[in-house]
Structure 1
Amino acid sequence: MDRLTFLGTGDSMGVPRVYCDCEVCTEARTGGLNRRTRSSVLLECGGGQMIIDCGPTWGSQMERMRMRDLDHLLITHAHYDHIGGLPEYADLCRWRRKKGHVYAPAEVLQSLRGFFPWLENQLVYQEVDDGFSFGEWRIFPWRVCHGRNGFSYAYHFSKPGYQWVYCPDSIRLSPEEKRPLENLQLLILGTNFYKEEADPDTRSVYDIVEALQLVEEMNPERVFFTHLSHGIDLNESERYELPERCKLAHEGLRLELC
């Protein structure tokens, strides 16, 4: 059975914020449900195990899962909260005397070479602009609007009878960018806040109100919101009045992909 596990569901800063005494951060500081590391998921299937994104909390996520090894990483974009753990992963590969495999579009890999020029001593970079296969899944990336932060990539996974998308960082998707969201059994979408009040020109990720409009338009069967800020309280999820098919993801949540 193919399975997806949420390793991290936090936004770029994680929860708690070190400076913040809000109710969500206070509860998270005690190890509560709102404690959130940087967004990442683990795919387990016939191809083995593959983690999507490798932020600065990758090591603690691996420890929590009691995982001591990993062969495959898929990267959505070269922002720190999605790649900050790559040196630690390369160190794992060095100690294991092996080469780890990192998959991403060519322009993302080029950015990694600029940030971490030594990593290819331990990691094999594989360009996936034209798509690739992992187990029975056919996977292809496409560029999505990341607002003020430029662009990110989302990934579409498909096999006979099942399609799902992982899209942690996006906003204001164009009609062309929305097209891969059609006919999905599962959509995982990044949503920082419930309703974000910041100037639209400064924003980079959907809020939940906007995401629900997207869900209504694209009509996926199931939706999980991730990349959640300290403005979202998982202990009071009913206050957000989500439709039945939409849920707030939490760390450790496991989904069967069938």
Structure 2
Amino acid sequence: MTAITFRGTGDSMGVPRVYCDCPVCEEARSGNRNRRYRSLVQIDDDNAGTMMIDCGPDWGRQMEAAGLRIVDRILITHAHFDHIGGLVEWADACRWLGKSGEAYAPSEVIKEIADRFPWLQRQIHFHAIDTPVQFGDWVTSCWRVNHGKNGYAYAYRFDNAATGKAWAYCSDAIGLTEEQQKPLYGLDLLVLGTSFYKEEFPYDTRSVYDVTEAAGLLRIWQPKRTVFTHMSHDIDLRREYELPEHSAFAETGMQLFI
């Protein structure tokens, strides 16, 4: 059994925005249901240990919420700040604990990180995941996806040959080609980034699917279950939305088993 816990469900700015007094941000300050740290999932598996996907600037608070001091490994989707801003804090934790952090990312992502933070490699060992890697019973692969005006990101797919289960994490994507969509077909679980319910900004200025676009894709991909993450302050968890069948918005601390 593998547990997936949503430690962060927010977009690049998180919720609340410091400048914003919209109803969602106000509720996030007082009631906390809409409070969203930057997107991150924690994966706990008896045979693979504890790992995370991404390490954004809220990583320290997310570790505290999880009751963790160290993590076995972190997979990185791309080198944008909201996905790597916590690497400095992780490196410092490794230094104080006398441990080496184990990070996995595609070669081009590792290069971007190394160019920006060359000293991180003193404490964190970066492994290229350009071909599938096995963690416990899960064969883990990643592939490049379009990230709209923000360039590119990577999505991760996990396959368990023993159980036949498969799930994927695709937090930052829009305008996927047919080839990029192929690993998303027929999953037991899909975690998909959708910053807005219906995003009104011009398409060429956008970087992530919205929920209405995702609904059309889910009819094609046919996952058994979908959880939406990477949400902006457009989405209010107190509201009722028309969502595709077998889908839901992620909430901080939400845990799934696969």
Q: Please give the range of the TM-score, normalised by the shorter of the 2 chains.
A: over 0.9
Which residue in 2 is equivalent to 1:10?
A: 10
- Equivalent position SS for 2:238: helix
Which residue in 2 is equivalent to 1:167?
A: 170
Which contiguous aligned blocks of 4+ residues in structure 1 show a shift greater than 3 angstroms? Answer: none
Question: Matches of 1:133 and 1:90 in 2, distance apart?
Answer: 24
Given residue 84 of structure 2, which amino acid in structure 1 is its aligned partner? Answer: I
Which residue in 2 is equivalent to 1:44?
A: 44
Instruction: After superposition, give the CA deviation of every residue in 1:217-238 in whole Å (9 maximum; x if it has no partner).
Output: 11100000000000000111x2
Instruction: After superposition, give the CA deviation of every residue in 1:99-144 in whole Å (9 maximum; x if it has no partner).
Output: 1100000000000101111000001010000110111100001000
Structure 1 residue corresponding to 2:187, chosen from 173, 184, 203 = 184
Which residue in 2 is equivalent to 1:84?
A: 85
Which residue in 1 is equivalent to 2:123?
A: 122
Q: Number of aligned pairs?
A: 255
Which residue in 2 is equivalent to 1:221?
A: 224
Structure 1 unaligned spans of 5+: none
Question: Matches of 1:219 and 1:200 in 2, distance apart?
Answer: 25
Question: Matches of 2:254 and 2:68 in 1, distance apart?
Answer: 16
Question: Matches of 2:170 and 2:6 in 1, distance apart?
Answer: 13
Question: Matches of 1:165 and 1:94 in 2, distance apart?
Answer: 32
Q: How high is the sequence identity, in percent, across the aligned residues?
A: 55
2:36 equivalent to 1:29 = no
Question: Matches of 1:32 and 1:128 in 2, distance apart?
Answer: 36
Structure 2 unaligned spans of 5+: none
Question: Matches of 2:121 and 2:88 in 1, distance apart?
Answer: 10
What is the CA-CA distance between 1:199 and the residue it aligns to? 1.1
Instruction: After superposition, give the CA deviation of every residue in 1:165-218 in whole Å (9 maximum; x if it has no partner).
Output: 000000011100000011200000000000001111110000000011111111
Instruction: After superposition, give the CA deviation of every residue in 1:57-92 in whole Å (9 maximum; x if it has no partner).
Output: 000000111111112010000000000000000001
What is the CA-CA distance between 1:47 and the residue it aligns to? 1.0
TM-score by length of 1: 0.98
TM-score by length of 2: 0.98
What is the CA-CA distance between 1:243 and the residue it aligns to? 2.8
Given residue 3 of structure 2, which amino acid in structure 1 is its aligned partner? Answer: R
What is the CA-CA distance between 1:31 and the residue it aligns to? 4.3
Higher mean C-alpha deviation, range 240-249 or range 74-83: 240-249
